[in-house]
Amino acid sequence: MRIYQGWLSAATVLTSPNADLRPDESDISLLVIHSISLPPGQFGGGHVAELFTNTLDPNAHSYFAEVANLKVSAHLLIDREGVVTQFVPFDQRAWHAGVSEFAGRPACNDFSIGIELEGIDTEPYTDLQYQRLAEITQCLIVEYPALTKERIVGHSDIAPDRKTDPGLAFDWAYFRKLLTT
């Protein structure tokens, strides 16, 4: 697995329009772990990709009417089977963090990479997701030296008043152990 011109070689590409240029494309120094499922608590179906590509049908499920017009994305999505989809190249700003702050610095989208795990806060993530996340994280740390193991956080860490993901079900100790092997 490697990164070439901002794209991960092991990912399927579905380009999201919900991205733009970073203020400084060389300033990639934070990794934000998220979780998402659409509809909430249901996995599969491709609805997350539809949300990130602005093609989610608001009539397909009652919850979709609430979120179909959101303009959001992440750099990557890792589904329950460990399959990786990339929506935004790493050198661009994905719209994943919203109003956020890390170490006194606001606007985390400007300097972070966002990875979504298909899941919910209260249900364990799969081993395949942890394995893939660890592999990708190690690749990102090599490619972007300002991104260190100490600068990996959950969405809840940078937006604690409004976000809870990846939630209590995310096993940080296990994930960090995978990074050391």
Which active-site residues does the annotation give?
Answer: 116
C-alpha 45, offset from chain centre:
18
Q: Which residue type sits at 67? A: V
Nearest CA among 23, 11, 128 for reference residue 75: 11
CA neighbours closer than 13 Å in the CB half-sphere of residue 103? 8
Is 158:107 a contact under the CB 8 Å cutoff?
Answer: no
> CA 8, CA 76: separation in Å to the nearest integer?
9
At 105, which helix (H) or strand (E)? strand 105-106
Single out the residue of 17, 44, 11, 8 nearest to residue 144, CA to CA: 8
Residues near 86 by beta carbon (within 8 Å), at least 6 away in sequence: 7, 8, 11, 12, 13, 14, 75, 76
Structure tokens at 177: 């152990």
Contact 38, 116 (CB under 8 A): no
